[in-house]
Amino acid sequence: MKCIIVDDEPFAIELLRSYVEKTESLELVGTFSNPVKAHSFLMKNSVDLVFLDINMPELTGIQLIKSLAHSPVIIFTTAYTEYGVESYDYNTADYLLKPIRYDRFLRAVNKASEILTKASETISASSPINRDYKNLVVTPGADDRVINLKSGSKIHRVGVSSILYVEACGNYMIFHTGKEKILSLLTMKDALDLLPKEQFVRIHKSFIISIAAIEVVERAQVSVKGVKIPVGSIYREQLLARL
């Protein structure tokens, strides 16, 4: 997993660097003590995982993630407990409290790996996903609008009424239908632009859901075909307004 470290404390960066270097599954591609510079890097480069401090000057870790159209998997690293609940509104694998032990670090990395593996399971290793927006067109069907989703060398023609929810997973979006999961190299914005706005609503940093598929609405989550999906605090009013 390609990763970066973002923390305004030099000691914290060096500790995490030492942990990354002895973890075979990780490849460190950058460290940043300035979150603004980290933001610029993420706008131009794709990484799988970010070790991200929260309480930093100029730009907090949460503000940094909010500013990205699509975030990598995040492991928050902080000395403060009060951000724990809010941090899970984002594409978060884990929340590590400083001082961080290596065994706890490994558990967090394993969680991040599971998220990314979940995405790669639907991709053939010999068929890398190509980002070709000419194949992402919306066409009318007899009774249902149809979208073309490019996944690897295949193009899936999917009726939008069959899509239950869409989930961000690393650099991909997973379209969950009643029968299958389709993985496509898209950003959250791409998915929102692709889906009919009258039928879908974003309820979380990482989730878009079909309004018609909602079965139960609770304060912090909804149920879609028995799957519990979190509702981010900043999206709750929008969801209730649509309902």
| pLDDT (0 to 100) of residue 239 | 92
Considering the entire predicted model, what is its pTM? 0.53
Mean of per-residue pLDDT scores for the chain:
83
Domains (range + CATH), the chain: 2-120 (3.40.50.2300), 133-242 (2.40.50.1020)
**CA atoms of 62 and 50, how far apart (whole Å):** 12
Q: Which of 191, 9, 165, 170 is closest to 75 using CA atoms?
A: 170
| pLDDT (0 to 100) of residue 133 | 37
Residue 124 scores a pLDDT above 60: no
